[in-house]
């Protein structure tokens, strides 16, 4: 698996899976320039799939992309189920916060919007 900032990389795939698959050949991440603007959420590298209870750990560049832009991805990979599934099926390890911004409180969304304005 490789990481890329090129949205036209032919190895990128998007969306969720209905059947087990290998991880993608490449995953899109934010550039160093974008990451240098700071994080909107804490940098966390592990998450739990609520369906199977498995903890998956991601590379730091992907974790930094989540922390910088919580809306960047719509799905993530479960290493046990071997599928990309919607973020609503996952919580961050160890704090249990949903990975899906659609599950966050209005207060948390307002906080992130204000932080984003100052980036």
pTM of the entire predicted model? 0.92
- CA proximity to 75, closest of 58, 60, 57, 88: 88
Does the pLDDT value for residue 119 go beyond 80?
no
User: For 1-35, what is each residue's pLDDT tens digit?
Assistant: 999 999 999 999 999 999 999 999 999 999 999 99
Give the start-to-end residue ranges of the domains of the chain: 2-117
Does the pLDDT value for residue 116 go beyond 90?
no
Sign of CA dihedral 34, 40, 43, 49: negative
């Amino acid at each position: 698996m490789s990481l890329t900032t090129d949205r036209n990389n032919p190895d990128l795939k998007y969306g969720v899976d209905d059947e087990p698959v290998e991880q993608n050949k490449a995953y899109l991440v934010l550039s160093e320039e974008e990451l240098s603007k700071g994080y909107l959420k804490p940098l966390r590298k592990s998450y739990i799939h609520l369906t199977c209870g498995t903890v998956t750990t991601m590379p730091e560049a992907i974790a930094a992309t989540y922390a910088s832009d919580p809306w960047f991805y719509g799905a993530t990979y479960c290493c046990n189920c071997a599928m990309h599934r919607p973020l609503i099926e996952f919580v961050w390890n160890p704090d249990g916060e949903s990975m899906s911004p659609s599950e966050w409180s209005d207060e948390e969304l307002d906080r992130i919007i204000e932080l984003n304005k100052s980036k």
